[in-house]
């Protein structure tokens, strides 16, 4: 284990990785990365490396889960054994089961579920490397993969966390800030609908701090939202170039 730093923010207000309090880590988003999947996306968010594949709408398995008036959304958040410092058992942990549930519930409001009765949509999220904020980066990528699969959606879902490191409200916590910070508030948003679809918190915040953390996270979401749209467009720009050759 590495030594715990004494302070997460120095006197000049700069964080351990050189960021200002309201600065995002570097983010790379790519769409259509898995040839076999109906839709897919890859995200690098700080040191997070996450791959999402979407299959469907397809036949429901097991059949009794089918709904007569809408599709069934399934979601599996899974961490690779090598994604963290100490090897993680590949069996799903209680944390992964909870995260699969909250991620599914954060994506579902964006999908026109009633368009595909008696079918199901599978979202598979694999964390190849974790660096704090995996659930947020997963949601951002999963929403892109759903769009890439051509599933009609009300809006993209984008997610980002804010929190408290030492005594400052900061945006987009990395691993050390997540573990040693005083609070973590992951938020998922459909920006055009002003709708929060995921909200969690742990730590300790006054009501004023909570309000500013939520606002900061929303601001971060909106910045990632424009990158999301660019990533979707980029796929089609590339296709066009290939066709012209």
Partner 1 sequence: MASVVTRVKQKQIAQLIDKEKRVDGRKPNEYREIKVEQGIIERAEGSARVRLGKTEIVVGVKVEMGEPFSDTPNEGVLTVNAELVPLASPSFEPGPPDETSIELARIVDRGIRESKAIDTGKLCIEPGKKVFVVFVDIYVLNHDGNLIDASALAAMAALLNTKMSNYEVEEGEVKIKSGYMQLPIKQHPITITCAKIGDKLILDPCLEEEQVMDARLSMAIDDDEDICAIQKGCAGYFTPEQVIEFSKTAKEKAKQIRKELDW
Per CB under 8 A, 205 contacts partner 1: yes
- Other Cβ atoms closer than 10 A to 131: 21
Tell how strand 168-171 and strand 158-165 pair up. Answer: antiparallel
3-class DSSP state of 81:
coil
Who contacts 193 (Cβ-Cβ below 8 Å, separation ≥6)? 154, 155
Please identify which residue in 16, 33, 84, 201 interacts with partner 1, judged by CB under 8 A: 201
Per CB under 8 A, 98 contacts partner 1: yes
Ramachandran angles phi, psi of 153, nearest 5°? -135, 150
Please identify which residue in 24, 218, 227, 232 interacts with partner 1, judged by CB under 8 A: 218
Report the C-alpha gap between 46 and 61 in whole angstroms: 36
Per CB under 8 A, 100 contacts partner 1: yes
Nearer residue to partner 1 within complex by CB, 126 or 219: 219
- Other Cβ atoms closer than 10 A to 34: 18
Chain residues 47-86 in contact with partner 1, contact rule CB under 8 A: 67-69
Determine the size of the site formed for partner 1 (CB under 8 A): 37
Residue length of the chain: 245
List the x/- string, 166-185, binding to partner 1 by CB under 8 A: -------------------x
Per CB under 8 A, 202 contacts partner 1: yes
Listed ranges 116-124, 164-172, 193-201, 227-235: which one lies at the site for partner 1 (CB under 8 A): 193-201
Q: Specify whether the CB–CB gap between 143 and 95 falls below 8 A.
A: no
Nearer residue to partner 1 within complex by CB, 36 or 194: 194
**First-to-last C-alpha distance (Å) of the chain:** 52
Which residues contribute to the site for partner 1 (CB under 8 A)? 1, 67-69, 94-95, 97-98, 100-102, 104-105, 108-109, 185, 190, 193-207, 210-211, 214-215, 218
């Amino acid at each position: 284990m590495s030594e715990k730093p004494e302070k997460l923010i120095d006197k000049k207000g700069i964080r351990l990785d050189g960021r200002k309090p309201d600065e995002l880590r570097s983010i790379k988003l790519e769409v259509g990365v898995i040839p076999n999947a109906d839709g897919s996306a890859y995200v690098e968010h700080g040191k997070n490396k996450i791959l999402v594949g979407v299959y469907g709408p397809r036949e429901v398995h097991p059949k009794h889960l089918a709904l007569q008036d809408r599709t069934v959304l399934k979601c599996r958040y899974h961490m690779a054994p090598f994604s963290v410092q100490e090897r993680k058992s590949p069996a799903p942990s209680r944390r992964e089961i909870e995260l699969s549930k909250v991620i599914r519930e954060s994506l579902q409001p964006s999908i026109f579920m009633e368009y595909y009765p008696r079918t199901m949509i599978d979202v598979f999220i694999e964390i190849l490397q974790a660096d704090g904020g995996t659930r947020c980066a997963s949601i951002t990528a999963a929403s892109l993969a759903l769009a890439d699969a051509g599933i009609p959606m009300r809006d993209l879902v984008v997610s980002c966390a804010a929190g408290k490191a030492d005594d400052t409200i900061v945006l987009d916590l990395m691993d050390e800030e997540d573990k040693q910070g005083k609070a973590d508030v992951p938020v998922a948003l459909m920006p055009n609908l002003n709708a929060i679809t995921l909200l969690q918190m742990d730590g300790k915040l006054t009501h004023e701090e909570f309000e500013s953390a939520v606002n900061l996270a929303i601001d971060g979401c909106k910045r990632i939202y424009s990158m999301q749209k660019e990533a979707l467009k980029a796929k089609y720009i590339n296709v066009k170039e290939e066709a012209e050759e």
